């Protein structure tokens, strides 16, 4: 697919996932179906009481981790969320920065922007700014934010190096980032070739080492992987066989096919900062 086709496909998939999430009890990582209560699903991704406080937004969250956990966000900070979706992480950030702070969310889909604005208004936040745009070309001023966060979104970008460069551009000197994302190792061709596996956050993901190298090449400093959650074959099957995936695989061999990627897909949390 061309970069434009990737953006269109991802936007359509997540718009549909948002609509379905409003009819389901909960959604799993990157849109996979999940019958667990929202609070349990969010807890597995590293969220605590935030899921209960902002349950409506949590129900439409497709993340793979909590990028704000232990992030050190302070009152008065400006936080930028790449791929903000329905705004769950925006609400958590708004809680952290307080009324004197500012939270900006970027998403490329109208439905997500509308949902984020609705959820922010419902929660009573006037300092949340949801903007339509691409994470490869952020509608954000140079050196204007204290924190960049992102939750299971950059793996969907066809131009990850541009995203990493944009993170460096918008951060103030000394500003930091905390990103939760899916990374992979040695995926078989049958996954890499499927569009639906791409929008399920697997086929377009890169290795952890390439991810770290990309952040460093963009000029970001102190890049570390501070947490990992390796997915089992059953969890990967849930991601691929949930809301998005119709991979055209033989059901009788599905378990054997999925076993090829057991231990090769995980969620990682990346942290670092822009040098002073």
* 188-232 pLDDT, tens digit each: 887 887 777 777 788 889 999 999 999 999 999 999 999 998 988
pLDDT band at 65 (very low <50, low <70, confident <90, very high): low
pLDDT band at 243 (very low <50, low <70, confident <90, very high): very low
Task: Give the residue extent of every domain in the chain.
Answer: 3-274
**Tokens read off for 153:** 């979104």
* Helix, coil or strand: residue 275: coil
Phi–psi pair at 161, nearest 5 degrees: -60, -35
The whole-angstrom separation of Cα 115 and Cα 79 is 19
**pLDDT the model gives residue 203:** 83
For residue 275, what are the contacts with CB-CB under 8 A and spacing of at least 6? 173, 174, 219, 221
* Residue 114 or residue 240, greater confidence: 114
**pLDDT the model gives residue 251:** 63
The whole-angstrom separation of Cα 188 and Cα 191 is 6
The whole-angstrom separation of Cα 90 and Cα 213 is 27
Angstrom distances, CA of residue 160 to CA of 38, 209, 218: 30, 14, 11
The string of DSSP codes covering 183-234 is EESS--HHHHT-HHHHHTTSTT---HHHHHHHHHHTTEEEEEEEEEEEPPHH
* Helix, coil or strand: residue 268: strand
The whole-angstrom separation of Cα 57 and Cα 51 is 8
Average pLDDT of every residue of the chain: 80
**pLDDT the model gives residue 258:** 79
pLDDT tens column, 71-108: 689 999 999 999 998 888 999 999 999 999 999 999 99
* Domain 3-274, CATH: 3.40.50.150
pLDDT at residue 57 above 60?
Answer: no
**Tokens read off for 155:** 């793996």
**pLDDT the model gives residue 54:** 45
pLDDT tens column, 248-271: 566 666 677 778 888 899 999 999
pLDDT tens column, 152-179: 899 999 999 999 999 999 999 999 999 9
The whole-angstrom separation of Cα 42 and Cα 45 is 5
pTM of the model: 0.81
pLDDT tens column, 104-140: 999 999 999 999 999 999 999 999 999 999 999 999 9
**pLDDT the model gives residue 129:** 97
Taking a C-beta distance cutoff of 8 angstroms, is the pair 55, 38 a contact? Answer: yes
- Helix-, strand-, coil-residue percentages of the chain, each rounded to 5: 40, 25, 35
pLDDT tens column, 9-56: 666 666 565 555 555 544 445 554 444 333 333 334 455 454 444 455
Q: What angle do CA 117, 118, 120 make, to 5 degrees?
A: 65
């Amino acid at each position: 697919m061309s970069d434009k086709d990737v953006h269109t496909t991802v936007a359509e998939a997540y718009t549909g996932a948002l609509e379905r999430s409003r009819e389901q009890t909960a959604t799993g990582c990157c849109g996979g179906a999940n019958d667990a209560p929202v609070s349990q699903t969010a807890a597995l991704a590293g969220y605590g009481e935030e899921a209960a406080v902002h349950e409506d937004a949590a129900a439409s969250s497709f993340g793979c981790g909590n990028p704000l956990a232990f992030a050190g966000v302070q009152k008065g900070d400006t936080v930028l969320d790449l791929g903000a979706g329905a705004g769950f992480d925006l609400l958590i950030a708004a809680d952290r920065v307080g009324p004197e702070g500012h939270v900006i969310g970027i998403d490329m889909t109208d439905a997500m922007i509308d949902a984020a604005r609705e959820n922010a208004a419902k929660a009573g936040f006037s300092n949340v700014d949801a903007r339509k745009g691409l994470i490869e070309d952020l509608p954000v001023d140079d050196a204007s934010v204290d924190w960049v966060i992102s939750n299971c979104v950059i793996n969907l970008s066809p131009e990850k190096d541009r995203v990493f460069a944009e993170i460096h551009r918008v951060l103030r000197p000394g500003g930091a980032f905390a990103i939760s994302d899916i990374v992979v190792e040695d995926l078989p061709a049958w996954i890499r070739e499927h569009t639906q596996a791409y929008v399920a956050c697997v086929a377009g993901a890169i290795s952890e080492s390439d991810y770290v190298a990309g952040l460093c090449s963009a000029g970001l400093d102190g890049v570390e992987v501070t947490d990992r959650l390796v997915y089992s074959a059953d969890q990967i099957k849930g991601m691929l066989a949930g809301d998005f995936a119709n991979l055209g695989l033989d059901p009788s061999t599905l378990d054997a096919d999925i076993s090829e990627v057991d231990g090769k897909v995980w969620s990682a949390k990346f942290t670092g900062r822009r040098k002073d």
